[in-house]
Amino acid sequence: MTTAIQFSGGKDSLVCLHLYRDDPDAVVIFADSGSVVPHVREFVESTVAALGMRLHIASPAIPCEEWQDANGLPADILPTNATPFMRPMITEGQSEATLVPYFACCNANIWQPMLRAIKDVGADTVVRGSKACDSRVGAPDGYVDDGVTFLSPIWDWSDDDVFAYLKKVGASLPPQYAMPGADSLDCWCCTAYMDYAGIQRFEYLKEHYPGLYAKAKARLNVVSRTVRAAIANTSFDV
């Protein structure tokens, strides 16, 4: 059976690539939402090719930006009256925009395409760069779902361990890691995860992709105004 390695272009999954680089049954899966920061896909493709590994691209039916335009902008804070269910029912004082929980956007544009890719390549094992010390952990090491086992070979590592290993094997990181606190950039149009390297993402876009930054900033401002208006409408003293 095939071992699938989820590669985001970030430091942790890059370690996993090097750990499994000699596994003939390994296939690298990269989730391209259609709105990834351009150099990230280039980095993924060149890195996988240099290691002599196979690459499978997982993509949604439409780019993430278009999905957001049709379904709502992802938000860390979600006013009820701005959700796709409630907003059409509001006849007076309707919110400026439709917002969705960030995990709904990730699910449609990254997670579900990734799961389909796992089935397409016939993988019974999925390798992820999850660590116990991460502030957000999806599938823990050894998690089993629908007959697929999710392994995290660096589960007990620290960030320092990760950087030390990558230095030892001579692995190059994508350029955003030159910015303190930066991580994998994922979708340029994301208006969520602002407490999780979101500010660094916007700062990187501003410096290196001013056109994408302007579009992303405009979308984030819509989210901010929508959330602030809801807070103002529900604030009261008792």
Round to the nearest angstrom and report the end-to-end CA distance of the chain.
Answer: 62
* Pair of tokens at residue 42: 């280039």
Count of beta carbons in the 10 Å neighbourhood of residue 34 = 17
How large is the angle between the packed helices 159-169 and 11-19, nearest 10 degrees?
Answer: 50
Note the pLDDT of residue 41. 93
The residue-averaged pLDDT of 144-157 equals 93
| Residue found under tokens 């900033």 | 217
Cα–Cα dist 105/175, whole Å: 26
* Residue at 39: amino acid letter: H
* Domains located in the chain, CATH noted: 2-233 (3.40.50.620)
- pTM here is 0.90
Question: Cα 154 from chain centroid?
Answer: 19
pLDDT tens readout for residues 54-105 = 999 999 999 999 999 999 999 999 999 999 999 999 888 889 899 999 999 9
Residues 6 or more apart whose Cβ sits within 8 Å of residue 39:
174, 175, 208
Mean pLDDT of the chain, nearest integer: 92
pLDDT of 233: 79
What pLDDT does residue 140 have?
84
